[in-house]
Amino acid sequence: MVRAVLVVLALVAAAPAAGEAEGRQQPLVVYTRTGGFIGVQDSMRISRDGTVSSSNGDFRLSAKRLATLRTRLRAARFPTLKREYEADYPIADGFVYGVTFGGKRVLVNEGAKAPLRLQRVLDTLGEIFIRRA
């Protein structure tokens, strides 16, 4: 009996609290923008429910903007994208944009010729980051 109680107590202690489980939920998408003349390190994490946590502030996307973002992310077909798109002629102090979606991270250097389907995602995330959403 004592052993059974100890096992139950151990399981209860090991179970994460509800808030902890939500905190570890995989985001819908993560966006980063690094580089530039002053060494910018911007980041944004968008949860599946549209909650945005970023270095530019926290807010919530409208249902319409979240639906548009989801559509563009799917249309980009991330599994088929290269891991990195480099510019033919690197730009000194240029930015590097990163997008992580569906377990795949893609980097795009400023001046690179990324596929239009990926560029649409970058444009949408850039607009959301500066709160034009």
Please tell me the pTM assigned to this model.
Answer: 0.79
Give the chain's mean pLDDT.
85
The answer to whether residue 12 sits within a structural domain is no
pLDDT in the model for residue 92: 86
More reliable by pLDDT, 87 or 4? 87
Provide the domain limits for residue 72. Answer: 26-129
Q: How many residues does this entry show for the chain? A: 133
Report yes or no on 21 lying in a domain: no
Alpha-helical segments (H) within the chain: 2-14, 18-23, 63-75, 116-129
Condensed to tens digits (0 to 9), the pLDDT of residues 9-50 reads 333 344 444 444 445 579 999 999 999 888 889 999 999 999
8, part of any domain? no
Inside any domain, residue 124: yes
The total of structural domains in the chain comes to: 1
In terms of C-beta distances under 8 Å and separation of at least 24 residues, what long-range contacts does 107-116 make, across chains too? Answer: 107/83, 108/84, 109/84, 109/85, 110/35, 111/87, 112/85, 112/86, 112/87, 113/85, 113/87, 113/88, 114/85, 115/76, 115/81
**Residue 19 located in a structural domain:** no
Indicate whether 5 belongs to any domain: no
Q: Residue 46 falls within a domain, yes or no?
A: yes
For residues 97-105, give the mean pLDDT. Answer: 97
Task: Report yes or no on 98 lying in a domain.
Answer: yes
Residue 132: the pLDDT is 58
